[in-house]
Amino acid sequence: MSQDHPASPRHLVSIDDVSIEEMHALFAHADRFAGNPRTFADTCPGFISASLFYEPSTRTRLSFESAMLRLGGGVLTAAEMTSSSVVKGESLADTIRVVGGGYADVIVLRHPSEGAARLASHFSPVPVINAGDGSLEHPTQTLCDLYNLHVERGRIEGLDVVLAGDLKYSRTVHSFAFALARFGANIVCVPQPGFELPEYVVKRLHEEFGVEPIRADARRLGNLASNSDAVYLTPQKPHQLSLFTDARGWEVQQVDAVYMTRPQTERHSSKEMSETQYLRLEKRAMAAESLRDAVVMHPLPRRDEISDEVDADPRSIYFKQAARGVPIRMAILSWLLGRIDLDVPLPKAAEPSLAVPSGPNPCPNPSCISRTETRHAGPRFHVISETPLRAACAYCTREISFGLVGCSSTGVYHAPGAAAVGQIHFHHLVLLEDEAAAVRLGFRPSAAPDPSARA
């Protein structure tokens, strides 16, 4: 076992915070914990986990608390934050500093604002675990989902997985899609009409994993995909797909798993509410030849998107899936508290972020934590690419737009495409909305004419 308290806490905010090697190591520890979970009470004695849930939860909260108790630790629960000091106006940053300052050794946080867990990690002296932030991510659910594929299929690489239902607002789907792409799995998107994967998710899948979306011929999925425009996403065959011209789309033949999701009505706008019948997985759909060997997964809770008659099907593993959340979360807690070693190389350190200078918040996401938590944490950005210069919100990861780029060292601003921008050190970058903002902040124009400005 390693030290009781790591000098610098490791946080689990995004599925990107865990390397593929670390995931495999966590699965191995989860297998060990699952063998007899009652025999590990000597793993985390004296440690306390705090559950800070600003949104309702059953499985995530209880599985984390069960995991901590089975490890021999204790739990503090704030499952209904409306009865906490939040109603008195306490900020998330202050709450985190108080709870992490002596009450608990690890914080499990669920929050409605996207990027809340990232912000919390900036203020917490103890590990922060993201238990869901808005519609952005749910990394421990993703680790649970991946672990279930590991148990049921023995591998994740190369699997064909159907994601069905509300793909727009489901944070579990977003995290899962990124992780599947990292493992080299193939994804068939079967969305509820109007609730397709967000553009920023598809864009990231394309840019980071070479995924090229293409229309899917999902007739072999039977009535599951009868009213949906299915899309095929794969990091395996990008060049083949770019040359694919069959109007019917890439034929879906056999799939390994169907991942159903409920309508995320708590995040739907009034304009998006619809009387259109939601996708439903029924017994007759499971008779499709392509689903013969497919396991049925669901992050739960469900509504009517999976018929009760499917529960008896041996391919349905969603209740096993929920139960396996305990051993994988035992592994996560033990790891972040320094009680087990994964014995794998550490992932690459995250790129630093910069504070946005005074002015309008450039993040386009109205649900971003930077728009609500303004007292202690202003907006920040990180660089996506240097040539051309692109940046994203450091909290919710949405790409931001800017009209000019300033250098805090020289006090000069340039057009985003100017050659001089490439010479600005990262820590001197200042993203500016327009010329008026540049002048207000004391920047002056570049002396030399900028050819890109005339283009």
* Rounded Cα distance, 147 and 299, in Å: 13
Q: Which of 360, 404, 403, 356 is nearest to 379 (CA)?
A: 356
Catalytic site includes residue 110:
yes
Nearest to 61 by CA among 51, 75, 46, 70: 51
Q: What is the pLDDT of residue 7?
A: 57
**Which pLDDT score is estimated for 230?**
83
Beta bridge partners of 390: 385
Q: Which of 24, 59, 268, 390 is catalytic?
A: 59
Q: Which of 75-84, 322-331, 376-385 has the highest mean pLDDT?
A: 322-331
Give percent of the chain with pLDDT exceeding 70: 88
pLDDT at residue 139 in the model: 94
Give the start-to-end residue ranges of the domains of the chain. Answer: 15-134+325-336, 140-317, 354-454
Determine how many CB atoms are found less than 10 A away from the CB of residue 62.
16
- Is residue 149 classed as helix, strand or coil in its secondary structure? helix
Residue 367 token pair: 């649900």
Please report which confidence band the pLDDT of residue 437 belongs to, taking 50, 70 and 90 as the band edges. Answer: very high
Output the six-digit token pair for 39. 């025999």
- pLDDT at residue 323 in the model: 94
Q: Which of 160-164, 330-334, 397-401, 421-425 has the highest mean pLDDT?
A: 330-334
Tell me, yes or no, if 320 is annotated catalytic: no
DSSP 207-264: HHH----EEEE-GGGGGGGTTS--EEE-SS-HHHHHT---TT-EEP---SEEEE----
CA terminus-to-terminus distance, the chain? 61
Check whether domain 354-454 has CATH 1.10.645.10, yes or no: no
pLDDT score recorded for residue 304? 83
- pLDDT number for residue 276: 66
Catalytic residue among 38, 88, 348, 425: 88
138, 168, 174, 324: which one is catalytic?
Answer: 138
Q: What is the third-level CATH fold of 140-317?
A: Rossmann fold (3.40.50)
Tell me the C-alpha to C-alpha distance, in Å, between residue 133 and each of 124, 154, 267, 316.
Answer: 16, 30, 12, 28
Options 11, 29, 43, 60, the catalytic residue: 60
What is the predicted pLDDT for the residue at 285? 83
Buried b or exposed e, range 180-196, using 16+ CB within 10 angstroms: bbbbebbbbbbbbeebb
pLDDT of residue 59: 87
Residue 60: active-site member: yes
**In this model, does residue 239 exceed pLDDT 70?**
no
More confident position, 311 or 249: 311
Structure tokens at 117: 């867990």
Average pLDDT of the segment spanning 232-261: 72
Q: How many CB atoms lie within 10 A of CB 386?
A: 12
Range of lowest pLDDT (47-61, 216-230, 384-398, 430-444): 216-230
Domain 15-134+325-336 matches domain 140-317 at the CATH topology level: yes
Which residue from 152, 139, 133 is spatially nearest to 178, judged by alpha carbons?
139
Is the CB of residue 197 less than 8 Å from the CB of residue 164? no
Question: Is 43 annotated as catalytic?
Answer: no
Q: pLDDT tens, 289-321?
A: 888 889 999 988 888 889 899 999 999 999 999
pLDDT grade for 98, boundaries at 50, 70 and 90: very high
Q: Please, are residues 212 and 279 in contact by the beta-carbon 8 Å criterion?
A: no
Q: In the CATH hierarchy, which top-level class contains the domain 15-134+325-336?
A: alpha beta
Question: Does 302 qualify as catalytic in the annotation?
Answer: no
Mean pLDDT of 258-268: 83
Query: Alpha-carbon torsion 241, 391, 409, 426, what sign?
Result: negative
Average pLDDT of the residues in 104-123: 95
pLDDT band at 4 (very low <50, low <70, confident <90, very high): very low
Angle at which helices 59-70 and 325-336 pack, to 10 degrees?
Answer: 60
Across 48-73, average pLDDT: 94
**Catalytic residue from among 110, 150, 182, 204:** 110
pLDDT at 172: 86
Q: Are 84 and 379 in contact (CB under 8 A)?
A: no
